[in-house]
Amino acid sequence: MTMTDTKTMADRLRAALEEEILAGRLQPGDELDERKIAARFEVSRTPVRQALTQLASVGLVAMRPRQTSVVSALDIKQLAQMFEVLASLEAIACDLAARRMGDADLSALEALHEKIARTVEDGDPDAYAVLNLEFHQAIWAGAHNTYLEAQLSTLRLRLAPYRRWLIEKMDRLRRSHREHADILAALRDGDGAAASALMARHVQDGDRFIDFLMSEGART
């Protein structure tokens, strides 16, 4: 296997493991044994180690010297701080998007919103999670600020396992979709202040999620 082949395999493994983490099949704290992963994907341990290193660079995996790597787990304080930053950055993106999105962008966002409605009616949190991210990404793109978009992408990726749990544990589908409708209306009106405030409130559901985690911990 050449160096290029190894890198390509590492990229494929990274994508596969990242998808398992984001889909919740690998949970925070789960061990990522290199030998078991290599056997499962029928590869050597070298691309596995490279894939885990890539995932560690974005915070999804914690690599420990002379110990098995694990899916990164955040404590309550870290989660609260990251949701706080996410709410602020998403609000900034909405403010900019309200002034910069064109009619075609807004029409595409409305079509995506209607598509999300079907996942809500079906009660499908998996499909909802995928399209929900696309909805937010469309707003980031509409802000036309590549640095802001990169920061949001990294932070959303880091919080993805927890946001998915929020959706599943707190029955968020219908309320989240209604909040999207309000945000979309503010964007269509070009009202950056309203869109920003609505988005901040929408993302700050993370605060309720933190309260939920704390209450669950108190019962265990």
Q: Read off the pLDDT of residues 42-67 as tens digits, 9 standing for 90 and up.
A: 999 999 999 999 999 888 899 988 88
CATH 1.20.120.530 residue ranges of the chain are 76-219
For residue 209, what pLDDT is reported?
Answer: 62
Residue range 3-71, CATH number: 1.10.10.10
Determine if the pTM surpasses 0.85.
no
Cβ atoms of 74 and 86 closer than 8 Å: no
- The predicted model gives 104-118 an average pLDDT of 97
CATH 1.10.10.10 residue ranges of the chain are 3-71
For residue 193, what pLDDT is reported?
Answer: 98
Residue range 76-219, CATH number: 1.20.120.530
Half-sphere exposure of 64 (CA within 13 A, CB side): 11
Model confidence at 30: pLDDT above 60: yes
Q: Biggest alpha carbon distance in the chain? A: 56
